[in-house]
Structure 1
Amino acid sequence: MRIRGYALPQGEFVDLYADGDQWTTDPVPGAEVTAEGWLLPGLVDAHTHPGAEKPGDRLDLAILKDDLRLHVDAGVTLIRSPGLADDPPDWFGTDPDLPRAWHAGPWIAQAGQFFDGWGRRVDHADMPEQAAAQAQQTGWAKIIADWGVGDEPVPEHVMKAVAEAVHAVGGRLAVHTQHSGGSAAAVAAGVDSVEHGMCMDAGLLNDMATKGMAFTPTLSVLLSGLPRIQERAEGPRKDWALTGVTAHPRLVAAAAEAGVTLLAGTDSRPHGRVADEVKAMADAGVSPHQALGAASWTARAFLGLQGLEPGAPADAVVYEQDPRTDLDQLNRPLAVILRGRRVR
């Protein structure tokens, strides 16, 4: 198989051959041009929870495959699941027709917090050991730093101990936070990625950039919930949600300006909507180049994969035109290449 065209992020012309699951510039006998145009090194959804119909449901393998197929149809060749309803099957991330996958196993939360039926409720004293064991197994662990209005977030000293334990085994730590206290603890602890980050103090962004932390704002799904928030009864919960969501686009734009690594993630159903997140970032004021990178080359680099170059995994999405000048191109891929095979 062979593709050629203008490869992002640089936009230089390349002629690539798939040698198994690896790109090469050396001609491969019998390889014909599969697609040509504008080339991305595969899209990434860095925050997605496939396999369950609604919060609290157990992992359903048929739903899991259907969800992952929707990602592939959208050009997503790599996902990160910072939290799953259960430990996934062995084929998760390795099925040749479905995206590569990183995951953090079930969420780790405090007692009385997070969705009933999902995750593990762990005492503060046991959090570092539990998170380290998960990260040693799958590379990532996920902590729910805060939850409801008025709930106490995971204390900073606990978060620091968790981050140290995870890093000591060579793992990485993602943290869910939608309140200022949880995000402050996460940034102070030097975790690897802040998920959602609603209500985060913008004064933390420079520290995040300095520490090399990533920010997955899940902006599009939060904005899509605004009509429901506005219909809620007046009270602290509505005030928190309305204030946090309406301020979130400004926070995302400020993060980009501060040099924080942005990752595109869609969070909830339906799957295959990473283009919505890219567009939401761009509408918020992030440059189209940076917004697209958050769903492609930047995210792949953060997760340890190369782009469109010799020796890199043979993933790509091909478009007719430069998607940076027309983000609607993301909804019209000409071809999706996964592990050296055309899957769409």
Structure 2
Amino acid sequence: MAVLRVRGRALPDGEPVDLYADGDRWTTDPVPNADLVAEGWLIPGLVDAHTHPGASTPGEPLDHDLLRADLRAHAAAGVTMIRSPGLAGDPPDWFGVDPELPRAVYAGPWIAQHGQFFDGWGRRAEHAELSQVAVAQARRSGWVKIIADWRLDDEPLPVDVLRAVVEAVHTVGGRVAVHSQHAAGGAAAVAAGVDSLEHGMCLDPALLHQMARQQTALTPTLDVITASLARRLATPDSPSRRWYVEGAGRHGTLVAAAAEAGVRVLAGTDAPPHGRVADEVRALAAAGMTPHDALGAASWAARDYLGLPGLRVGAPADVVVYPEDPRTDLRMLDHPSAVVLLGRLLSGSE
């Protein structure tokens, strides 16, 4: 296989670099006859940190053909890594290692209290067994996804139960992602010291500084939440409508405040169609994050959070190349000139 070469200005710092793909690692040692596949502005691979590929409708089983198609859509958009905090079934052996598809980390099935979450998806557990179930999953995949709250009138997961889960999972080297769209569930997640809060709608902004101190990341899935606002506004008045309109209406303000407080914000799309992480980047910027930080939430900052370094010697050979600095016009994210994944130029890239 030919050695690939890219050169240009590498974000986040904008320093000029000349990189060669030595297998799946970058090197600056020149390789004779390497193929110069792209020049321009180099981004260390986009990341969708909250996506559920492989099932088009909640409750459906994991479809391996659809999973591959969804991942191809991500890769075509420049996404070289995904985090799936919840899958509809056990992934196939090729998940996360196919050279034509994004790298992947995942949390296995969602874990919820009885009577909560989508029928047909995830596991249900009693409070007394929740830590044991979570630890078993963490040993398999590294991440665990807990549903802290669900419907408006449901009881959220008690903070002492969630704290016990976090402590147990951390003991075996795992990490805990928590779904929350209600104030009580979000407060319990922050108090328990979870690794990432997913959605975080209705979170009390007073908790943001604690999140920053304990390094709890926020994956707000802002674009999909605010996109549903107009539809909910058109429905008849009800407690559920009022909850959603209020929470979604101030979600962008919460995201901007989180970034200002020093919380690690991660870009995630949540719902299909897949390959839309650029929409989330633009939503984060529209909410008040700087274009630099909004892009970082879907690239270098997210990769660092998930354990992958950026564009330096010895780092995994992922890059997305653009002809101009995409921070000057985030619409440019829709048109990469080249995508390199695991040291290979993806088909369709120029």
TM-score normalised by L of structure 1: 0.99
Residue 228 of structure 1 and its aligned partner are, at CA, apart by 1.4
Write the distance in 2 (CA, Å) between the matches of 1:231 and 1:221: 17
Write the distance in 2 (CA, Å) between the matches of 1:231 and 1:150: 22
What is the one-letter code of the residue matched to 1:269?
Answer: P
What is the one-letter code of the residue matched to 1:72?
Answer: A
Match of 2:311 in 1: 308
Match of 2:246 in 1: 243
SS of residue in 1 equivalent to 2:128: helix
Write the distance in 2 (CA, Å) between the matches of 1:279 and 1:120: 34
What is the one-letter code of the residue matched to 2:334?
Answer: N
Write the distance in 2 (CA, Å) between the matches of 1:181 and 1:317: 40
Residue 233 of structure 1 and its aligned partner are, at CA, apart by 2.0
State which of 100, 113, 122 in structure 2 corresponds to 1:110: 113
Moved more, 131-140 or 294-303: 131-140
Match of 2:324 in 1: 321
SS of residue in 2 equivalent to 1:39: strand
Encode CA deviations 1:296-325: one digit per residue, 9 max, x unaligned.
Answer: 000000000000000000000000110111
What is the one-letter code of the residue matched to 2:226?
Answer: L
Identity among equivalent pairs (%)? 65
Match of 1:56 in 2: 59
Write the distance in 1 (CA, Å) between the matches of 2:236 and 2:123: 31
Write the distance in 2 (CA, Å) between the matches of 1:315 and 1:168: 31
State which of 192, 197, 202 in structure 2 corresponds to 1:199: 202
SS of residue in 1 equivalent to 2:315: coil
TM-score normalised by L of structure 2: 0.98
Write the distance in 2 (CA, Å) between the matches of 1:57 and 1:102: 21
SS of residue in 2 equivalent to 1:159: helix
Residue 53 of structure 1 and its aligned partner are, at CA, apart by 1.2
SS of residue in 2 equivalent to 1:10: coil
- 5+ residue gaps, structure 2, are none
SS of residue in 2 equivalent to 1:2: strand
Write the distance in 1 (CA, Å) between the matches of 2:105 and 2:8: 29
State which of 147, 155, 160 in structure 1 corresponds to 2:150: 147
Encode CA deviations 1:197-221: one digit per residue, 9 max, x unaligned.
Answer: 0000000000000001100000000
RMSD of aligned alpha carbons: 0.6
Alignment of 1:82-97 (within 5 A): 82-97=85-100
What is the one-letter code of the residue matched to 1:205?
Answer: L
Write the distance in 2 (CA, Å) between the matches of 1:181 and 1:28: 56
SS of residue in 1 equivalent to 2:210: helix
Q: How many residues align?
A: 344
Write the distance in 1 (CA, Å) between the matches of 2:138 and 2:184: 24
Encode CA deviations 1:38-88: one digit per residue, 9 max, x unaligned.
Answer: 000000000000000100000001110000000001000000000000111
Alignment of 1:19-38 (within 5 A): 19-38=22-41
Match of 2:130 in 1: 127
Alignment of 1:157-236 (within 5 A): 157-236=160-239
Write the distance in 1 (CA, Å) between the matches of 2:120 and 2:267: 27
Residue 29 of structure 1 and its aligned partner are, at CA, apart by 2.9
- 5+ residue gaps, structure 1, are none
Q: Runs (4+) of structure 1 moved beyond 2 Å?
A: none
Matched, 1:100 2:103: yes
Match of 2:282 in 1: 279
What is the one-letter code of the residue matched to 2:49?
Answer: A
Write the distance in 2 (CA, Å) between the matches of 1:89 and 1:172: 22
SS of residue in 1 equivalent to 2:325: coil
